[in-house]
Structure 1
Amino acid sequence: HWPNPAIPLAESITALNAVRDSGMARHIGVSNFPSKMLAEAVRLSDAPLVANQVEYHPYLDQTKVHAACRAAGIGMVAY
């Protein structure tokens, strides 16, 4: 659920695409991606990313992430 700095983002996105292509998932998404990383993931993915699950509540401003999700047509899922 968190991006792993020890694993290149391209490798993670390739793996997610493989899962989708194999039919094990209809849709793929990410979790806890800040806006810059989300933009990079969108660029790297062959399939559309449908969600970015992030912490979201009145005490945590996620305006930038929300705007990035909307601009890319990705749903922001709050936890």
Structure 2
Amino acid sequence: MKEYELYCEYYDTCSPKPRTSIEEIETDNIESYMSQFITDDATVSCNTNQNGDILYEICCAGIRKRYTFTEI
């Protein structure tokens, strides 16, 4: 399994600053891992930045969540 540092940012319409959290996870399949956070009515985008980090952005019901996976 691969190890990642997962940096999460949660934005809502009531606060200008995001809530953040950092954790280490192990997974062989990031898409499968992320499926637990994605609802049917959510808008999802997935990109890779120039450093090779994998970024998911999920928008649902006025809340935007950004997940950044950095391989350890």
Greater relative CO (CA pairs within 8 A, separation 6+): 2
TM-score greater than 0.5 by the shorter chain? no
The structure richer in helix per residue is 1
- After TM superposition, the score normalised by the length of structure 1 is 0.23
- After TM superposition, the score normalised by the length of structure 2 is 0.24
The structure richer in strand per residue is 2
